[in-house]
Amino acid sequence: MTQEQNFSSIAAFIWSVADLLRGDFKQSQYGRIILPFTLLRRLECVLEPTKEAVLAQHQKVKEMPEEAAQKLLLHAAQQPFYNTSPMDLDKLGQNQVLDNLDSYIQSFSPDAREIFDYFSFSDYLVQLNDANLLFKVAGKFATIDLHPEALSNHDMGLVFEELIRRFAESSNETAGEHFTPRDIVRLTTSLVFAEDDDALTQQGIVRSIYDPTAGTGGFLSSGMEYLYELNPNARLATFGQELNKESYAICKADMLIKGQDVGNIKQGNTLSEDQLAFDTFDYMLANPPFGVEWKKVQKAVSDEHKMKGYGGRFGPGLPRVSDGSLLFLLHLISKMRPADEGGSRIGIILNGSPLFTGGAGSGESEIRRYVLENDLVDAIVALPTDMFYNTGIATYIWVLSNRKPEERNGKVQLINATEFSDKMRKSLGSKRKYVTEEQIEDIVRIYGGYEESEISKVLDATDFGFRRITVERPLKLALYPHDEARLAALQDDKGWKKLNDELQQAILGALRAIGESQIQSRSSFNEQIKANMRGTKLPAPALKLLYKHLGEQDEEAELCATKGKPEPAADLRDYENVPLRESIRDYFDREVLPHVSDAWIDESKKDAKDGEVGIVGYEIPFNRHFYKYAPPRSLEEIDADLDRVSADILELLAEVHS
């Protein structure tokens, strides 16, 4: 039996306990019982060799301070956890099973006991007891051999991952929030680790991996598995934080089973309460929630942005509140080791919005500007649609690094992997496709090959930047003092209603006194209306109301000027995005002036960072770089299709009438 067959058969046997639960529990609840029971059985198997020593030590340390007692018990257990109960799953008896089992679980060391608490395991034990199933289920798990001699930490981890997968699939209505499909996890991990394969095979290698949205621990497990395949003797220390308590419990249980320090797995909101604030990591992997608003943590995030600036995590900018994806990207970047200390590599899965949402100067654009101008983006891979449990939208893997190889410096590789997938035999929620192992290898090979092709483009980071210039055209105002519709709109304006009655009547009288129905000069209009006000002063706000309602842009009218300079027409104001590589003057002369000869650039609109004319913006129009022109079908072809459809309709109608 192969290793894969071995762990799969053990996982299948463990999951078969669900046969006992059917009828009394919903399918989506099976994992909430099977996972903690599996953890419990594994822990007692691991602790079995030192159980007597721990019980003996427990008698000696009862009167000692808790912290000192815990250290001695951990030493006696020779593990990062212990249990001080003489019980195990095979000694629960038949009369007080619930009390005995609850006492057994409460006797674990705090880190291990917390996992069962977050599973709400006690509640499920009560339900099992009420259904007369507790003794049967506990007895079934007592027969499963999960001793380290039978299953190494690595293999036990694979078993637990398989159980997590089955649990996620059985409750796939919410799986996508906390569980990333294994094929996507594997692809992302492979891309992030790809540049380091040679280094990772060295003896005694120790690396760290971090996931700020750890979910059930899929990325952490995949990183460990990838490294194990390269070098079974290498060590990967795992770190993570997860908001959802049940997912946190699963992740922490998985790490405990694999021999990791579970003190590195934290529970809470990463954006508002970073519990690993002073740590940096070699590798980081994340699949933050797509398009989820961050209103609940807005104050904490905004305060950090304002008070700490670039000394905190969110210095470059803040995205709109409706989507916090880019906040997680900035959070990960803040965890990168300095390049001279080995640097870091990041793999993060994002939807399409972070590529282009937000114009020049917006929070999103400033974040893209930061990562591109600091040469952190290594590659972006477009994934097929329908790859995730709870959404079918387009998604992308961003690979970031602050220690790029020389040939990648200043460059960004775009890979269009949207055709790299196979259809699943059975859909799981919105997931209808998966990426095969061969396709993962192909994508990683394209990434490593770093060559231009139909599905791989290598661009300069500056290719994604532009300056947004403001193009103005002169105001040329024609005014209509007797137009009834315009006069009615004027008198309905809130600003007009704030004027006193005397001023209103004076203005209306002055307008009636003007002899012309259309005036092509604003200065002439000013002279005539002021001359007819009969001593009543015409304030500037009132004059602006007249321009607003009685005036209209007219290219035949006289140009409006102030202090000798033409005034811009707000309605004709336009914006042009000039590529960063190009002179804005050359662009303007070529693209704008031939069409509007009287236009000019508003040179007061300057970038806040470099002081140059035009606001710098960045966007990554991924699809534009892979656009293929498809010529329209010929008219003959379309006519033939219409004829066929018409014939089919006539045939159906004939059948109806026959």
Report the C-alpha gap between 67 and 231 in whole angstroms: 36
Any idea what the Cα angle at residue 14 is, between residues 12 and 20, rounded to 5°?
110
Q: Within 423-539, where are the H helices?
A: 437-449, 484-491, 494-497, 501-513, 522-531
Predicted confidence (pLDDT) per residue in 233-278, tens digit: 888 899 999 998 888 888 888 888 888 888 899 999 999 999 999 9
Give first-to-last CA distance, the chain, whole Å.
Answer: 66
Predicted confidence (pLDDT) per residue in 309-333, tens digit: 999 999 999 999 999 999 999 999 9
Residues 413 and 540 grouped into a single domain? no
**pTM as predicted:** 0.84
Q: Is the pLDDT of residue 638 over 70?
A: yes
Residues 298 and 429 grouped into a single domain? yes
Strand, helix or coil for residue 400: strand
Q: What is the pLDDT confidence band of residue 176, given thresholds at 50, 70 and 90?
A: very low
Instruction: Assign residue 204 a region (left: φ > 0; alpha: ψ between -120 and 50; beta: otherwise).
Output: left
Asked whether the beta carbons of 57 and 73 are under 8 A apart, the reply is yes
Report the C-alpha gap between 376 and 334 in whole angstroms: 12
Asked whether the beta carbons of 619 and 355 are under 8 A apart, the reply is yes
Asked whether the beta carbons of 281 and 246 are under 8 A apart, the reply is no
Range with top average pLDDT, 18-32, 206-220, 490-504: 490-504
Predicted confidence (pLDDT) per residue in 375-397, tens digit: 999 999 999 998 887 778 889 99
Query: Domain boundary at 549, 566, 583, which?
Result: 566
Which residues are CB-neighbours of 84 under 8 A, at least 6 positions away?
54, 55, 58, 73, 107
Any idea what the Cα angle at residue 193 is, between residues 189 and 199, rounded to 5°?
155
565 has which bridge partners? 562
pLDDT of residue 654: 82
Residues 325 and 411 grouped into a single domain? yes
Residues 270 and 140 grouped into a single domain? no
Q: What is the pLDDT confidence band of residue 159, given thresholds at 50, 70 and 90?
A: confident
Residues 195 and 326 grouped into a single domain? yes
Report the C-alpha gap between 48 and 146 in whole angstroms: 11
pLDDT of residue 161: 77
Which residues are CB-neighbours of 507 under 8 A, at least 6 positions away?
499, 529, 533, 538, 542, 546
Any idea what the Cα angle at residue 368 is, between residues 367 and 370, rounded to 5°?
65
CA dist 82 → 57, 254, 277, 351, 436 (Å): 11, 17, 29, 43, 41
Q: Find the CATH number of the domain harbouring 96.
A: 1.20.1260
Higher pLDDT, 467 or 92: 467
Average pLDDT value for residue range 66-84: 91
Q: How many residues does the chain have?
A: 658
Any idea what the Cα angle at residue 440 is, between residues 282 and 160, rounded to 5°?
65
Query: Domain boundary at 144, 170, 196, which?
Result: 170
In a domain, 589, yes or no: no
Residues 104 and 82 grouped into a single domain? yes
In a domain, 602, yes or no: no
Report the C-alpha gap between 25 and 21 in whole angstroms: 6
In a domain, 596, yes or no: no
Average pLDDT value for residue range 225-239: 87
Any idea what the Cα angle at residue 124 is, between residues 35 and 70, rounded to 5°?
65
Residues 219 and 344 grouped into a single domain? yes
Average pLDDT value for residue range 425-446: 89
pLDDT of residue 4: 45
Q: How many CA atoms lie within 13 A of 327 on its CB side?
A: 28
Q: Find how far residue 574's CA is from the centre of its chain.
A: 33
Maximal C-alpha separation, the chain: 112
Least confident of 68-72, 486-490, 652-656: 652-656
Report the C-alpha gap between 521 and 517 in whole angstroms: 12
Report the C-alpha gap between 230 and 239 in whole angstroms: 21
Asked whether the beta carbons of 138 and 122 are under 8 A apart, the reply is no
In a domain, 120, yes or no: yes
In a domain, 500, yes or no: yes
Residues 149 and 195 grouped into a single domain? no
Report the C-alpha gap between 119 and 115 in whole angstroms: 6
Q: Find the CATH number of the domain harbouring 305.
A: 3.40.50.150
Mean pLDDT of the chain: 91
pLDDT of residue 171: 64
Q: How many domains, the chain?
A: 3
Domain that holds residue 123: 1-170
Q: Is the pLDDT of residue 172 over 70?
A: no
Got the DSSP string for 550-615?
HEEE-TTSPBPEETTEEPB-GGG-EEEEEETTS-HHHHHHHHTTTT-TT-EE-TT-B-TTT--BBE
In a domain, 76, yes or no: yes
465 has which bridge partners? 618
Residues 306 and 442 grouped into a single domain? yes
Predicted confidence (pLDDT) per residue in 338-354, tens digit: 999 999 999 999 999 99
Selection from 211, 216, 267, 215 nearest residue 238 by Cα = 211
Residues 440 and 525 grouped into a single domain? no
Strand, helix or coil for residue 391: coil
Average pLDDT value for residue range 594-608: 95
Query: Domain boundary at 170, 191, 209, which?
Result: 170
In a domain, 642, yes or no: no
Residues 242 and 372 grouped into a single domain? yes
In a domain, 357, yes or no: yes
pLDDT of residue 658: 64
Q: Pairing relation of β-strands 615-618 and 465-472?
A: antiparallel
Q: Is the pLDDT of residue 175 over 50?
A: no
Which residues are CB-neighbours of 376 under 8 A, at least 6 positions away?
333, 400, 401, 402
Average pLDDT value for residue range 287-302: 91
Q: CA Rg, the chain, in Å?
A: 34
Residues 270 and 396 grouped into a single domain? yes
